[in-house]
């Protein structure tokens, strides 16, 4: 193909998608053919529901276990929210230990996932998308099972690392993200891809919002164990749905091997040459855009993930001293931004290009973080959540722009790379923010949120 034939690219992309649709119909079908339209969104919804249900509960469980071990019960005292009362030294120790254990657990899981995601994501270009939707859900179910054993037997929290080991070896949640977004790229055209990606992001938000509301109320009423049984059941349901109903979107190669250097080479080729669809003249341009958009994605998601981990810790301690119900509502308000971002993206696409949509979303995120940094009342905290109503509109724009830069046969390798970057985001965000928060809270409790807001100037400048 000559470089001047750019007008034929969308047609070729659509034709390749059509070939994929035909081939899967004649080769690989799920065991049960549903007469209704079956999509990949329920896999994303169920997997995210289980993750959003357990994440705040794990932090609260760590807080309660560490508080019990240290003999601290300050969150139950009436003077907790009284700023004139000197800070209990035990509270600072509980906060520090909880943040550090969050860091250790996340480092362990994300490090293993970072090793496995390139194998599974790039392998899906050859073996199909369905396996990478099933295996990680089974691993997450095993993780929930280990957490239940720890809670039933009141084992030391170090055993949480065993659950993260099993989840990481199966690819963790980031492999599900890679599989779902690659599946969506397989089955969408270039014009609708940004909105389709936003729909998947909205599934994350809707499931997270429901899980947060349910988790807060349920934990207050019945403790931790029963909600984690639902986490286990939801992961199994997601794996079962993908196995029974999701139709394959690529033609599987039965001889495709999982553990081979070919998958890593495919990702390296993508970022070193700009993709198979790039000509020699445009290769450097595509390569530059791939690296810059990936850098933007890294910084944005690192800020999102790092600050999100601190919200529960920030809300548990004084002067807010939230209980499980308010923490659930706060997490629900945070996940509501996925839906408001989807609506805002759809409206803004009528009058703005995607890059401008991303800049508006970054501005919303910046303002919200600044408000969080000074929030000392419940009303101000929820004001920050409200001002961040567009923060999730930037990531589907970046995913869509990345997807449009590569050939349809390289979508799995691309989103495997994006998933690896996402793992690094969680790793970097967890490490930096969970370390920075206890180190700076003595002079400004919200300094970490100010730091996160300043980082957003870098992706905004690149996109500009």
What pLDDT is stored for residue 120 in this prediction?
A: 85
d(CA 281, CA 48): 41
Instruction: Identify the weakest region by mean pLDDT among 15-24, 30-39, 214-223.
Output: 15-24
Assess whether pLDDT exceeds 80 at residue 373.
yes
Comparing 93 with 45, which gets the higher pLDDT?
A: 45
d(CA 56, CA 50): 11
Comparing 30 with 306, which gets the higher pLDDT?
A: 306
Residue-wise pLDDT for 234-293, tens only, equals 999 999 999 988 888 888 877 777 776 666 677 777 887 766 555 555 667 778 889 999
Assess whether pLDDT exceeds 90 at residue 449.
yes
- Greatest pairwise CA separation for the chain in angstroms: 73
Burial of 347-377, coded b for 16+ CB within 10 Å and e otherwise, reads: ebbeeeebeebbbbbbbbbbbbbbbbbebee
Assess whether pLDDT exceeds 60 at residue 318.
yes
At 193, list the tokens: 């891809």
Assess whether pLDDT exceeds 50 at residue 7.
no
Assess whether pLDDT exceeds 90 at residue 453.
yes
Comparing 198 with 408, which gets the higher pLDDT?
A: 198
What pLDDT is stored for residue 367 in this prediction?
A: 96
pLDDT range class, residue 13, cuts 50, 70, 90: very low
What pLDDT is stored for residue 264 in this prediction?
A: 65
Domains along the chain?
Answer: 39-72+87-248+291-463 (1.20.1250.20)
Contacts of 445 (CB under 8 A, 6+ apart): 314
pLDDT range class, residue 187, cuts 50, 70, 90: confident
What mean pLDDT, rounded, does the chain reach? 81
d(CA 30, CA 37): 13
pLDDT range class, residue 150, cuts 50, 70, 90: very high
Assess whether pLDDT exceeds 70 at residue 161.
yes
pLDDT range class, residue 78, cuts 50, 70, 90: very low
pLDDT range class, residue 314, cuts 50, 70, 90: confident
Assess whether pLDDT exceeds 90 at residue 427.
no
**In the chain, pLDDT over 70 holds for what percent of residues?**
85
Assess whether pLDDT exceeds 80 at residue 184.
yes
Contacts of 337 (CB under 8 A, 6+ apart): 205, 385, 388, 389, 390, 391, 392
What pLDDT is stored for residue 16 in this prediction?
A: 39
Assess whether pLDDT exceeds 70 at residue 26.
no
What pLDDT is stored for residue 191 in this prediction?
A: 80
pLDDT range class, residue 230, cuts 50, 70, 90: very high
Comparing 213 with 298, which gets the higher pLDDT?
A: 298
Assess whether pLDDT exceeds 70 at residue 21.
no
């Amino acid at each position: 193909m000559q470089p001047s034939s750019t007008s034929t690219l969308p047609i070729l992309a659509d034709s390749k998608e059509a070939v994929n649709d035909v081939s899967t119909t004649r080769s690989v079908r799920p065991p049960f053919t549903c007469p209704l339209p079956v999509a990949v969104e329920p896999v994303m919804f169920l997997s995210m529901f289980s993750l959003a249900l357990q994440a705040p509960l794990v932090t609260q469980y760590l807080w309660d276990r560490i508080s019990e071990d240290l003999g601290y019960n300050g969150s139950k005292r009436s003077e907790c929210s009284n700023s004139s009362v000197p800070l209990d030294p035990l509270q600072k120790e509980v906060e520090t230990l909880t943040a550090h254990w969050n860091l250790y657990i996340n480092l362990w899981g994300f490090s293993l996932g970072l090793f496995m995601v390139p194998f599974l994501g790039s392998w899906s270009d050859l073996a199909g998308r369905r396996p990478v939707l099933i295996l990680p859900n089974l691993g997450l179910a095993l993780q929930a099972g280990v957490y239940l054993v720890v809670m039933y037997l009141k084992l030391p929290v170090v055993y949480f690392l065993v659950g993260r080991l099993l989840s990481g070896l199966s690819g963790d949640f980031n492999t599900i993200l890679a599989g779902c977004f690659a599946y969506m790229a397989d089955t969408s055209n270039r014009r609708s891809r940004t909105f389709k990606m936003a729909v998947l992001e909205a599934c994350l938000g809707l499931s997270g919002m429901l899980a947060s509301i349910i988790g807060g109320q349920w934990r207050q009423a019945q403790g931790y164990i029963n909600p984690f049984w639902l986490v286990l059941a939801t992961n199994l349901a997601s794996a079962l749905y993908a196995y029974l109903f999701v139709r394959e979107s690529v033609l599987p190669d039965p001889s495709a091997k999982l553990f081979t250097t070919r998958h890593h080479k495919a990702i390296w080729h993508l970022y070193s040459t700009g993709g198979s669809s790039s000509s020699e003249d445009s290769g450097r341009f595509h390569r530059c855009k791939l690296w810059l958009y990936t850098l933007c994605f890294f910084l944005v998601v690192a800020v999102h993930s790092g600050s999100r981990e601190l919200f529960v810790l920030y809300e548990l301690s004084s002067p807010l001293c939230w209980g499980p119900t308010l923490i659930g509502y706060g997490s629900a308000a945070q996940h509501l931004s996925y839906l408001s971002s989807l609506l805002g993206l759809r409206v803004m696409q009528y009058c703005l290009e995607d890059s401008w949509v991303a800049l508006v979303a970054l501005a919303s995120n910046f303002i919200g973080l600044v408000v969080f940094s000074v929030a000392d009342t419940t009303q101000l905290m929820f004001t920050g959540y409200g001002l961040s109503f567009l923060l999730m509109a930037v990531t589907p724009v970046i995913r869509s722009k990345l997807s449009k830069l590569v050939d349809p046969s390289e979508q799995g390798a691309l989103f495997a790379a994006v998933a690896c970057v996402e793992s690094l985001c969680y790793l970097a965000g967890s490490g930096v923010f969970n370390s920075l928060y206890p180190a700076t809270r003595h002079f400004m409790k919200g300094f970490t949120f100010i730091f996160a807001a300043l980082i957003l100037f870098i992706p905004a400048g690149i996109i500009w």
